[in-house]
Chain A
């Protein structure tokens, strides 16, 4: 199974840029990398997805190096409302199922 490894937690302050790196050494050629955000007492919510290089949307940017063995979620100028758990996923194409890791708990302080 394709596994991901992320830092357990990160702390930041309002207005700072936050970068969360995910390791996925066994990623397969056809796998995409997807990031989800989860607030307390809610289900996860899609943030961004990419295959290679860089992807940007209105919420975040995703940087993927050429070897695709890692990826970095970048949140520009975080606010208190960005406090959440962030999950990095890669698809296990052999088993047709997504594998969630433990996620990174981001705490944004004033």
Chain B
């Protein structure tokens, strides 16, 4: 199994541009989520999904959209990038729901720079 994969690994955007961060998992996990991590800070939850067709907001959802059309994929969209969205983005998945006894598997991250 490849686990959780994220593309691209690194991206530079100009303010106002749009892009989609891809996340895929091959473990048939129901729960997937997106986090952002700013320098010297912990992870903050952006959006999450408890299954295909179901998404909900986390702590910092503004400026981001998500959809979950399949169990495997959970893309994160930036409609109009802003410098404040410069960060490292991590996707995670777990079997079942986000019950705390479910181990979260994290991807390698996408480093985004918005100029």
Could you list which residues of chain A lie within 8 angstroms of chain B, going by C-beta atoms?
Answer: 31-34, 36, 41-46, 49, 87, 89-91, 96-103
Contacts and interface: CB of A to CB of B under 8 A. Distances in A.
Interface of B: 4, 33, 35, 41-45, 48, 50, 56, 58-59, 90, 92, 97-101, 103-109
A99 B35 CA distance: 10
Contact of A98 (B90, B104, B107): B104
B42 A103 contact: yes
A97 B75 CA distance: 18
Contact of B100 (A41, A87, A98, A100): A98
Contacts of B107: 43
B94 to A, nearest CB: 9
Contact of A32 (B33, B58, B100, B108): B100
A91 B42 contact: no
B13 to A, nearest CB: 20
Given A41-B109, A43-B90, A102 B100 contact: no
15 contacts: A31-B100, A32-B101, A33-B100, A34-B100, A43-B107, A44-B43, A46-B105, A87-B43, A91-B98, A91-B100, A96-B97, A97-B48, A98-B98, A99-B45, A100-B43
A92 to B, nearest CB: 9
Contacts of A89: 100
Contacts of B56: 96-97
B110 to A, nearest CB: 11
Contact of A96 (B35, B50, B101, B109): B50
Contact of A42 (B42, B58, B97, B108): B108
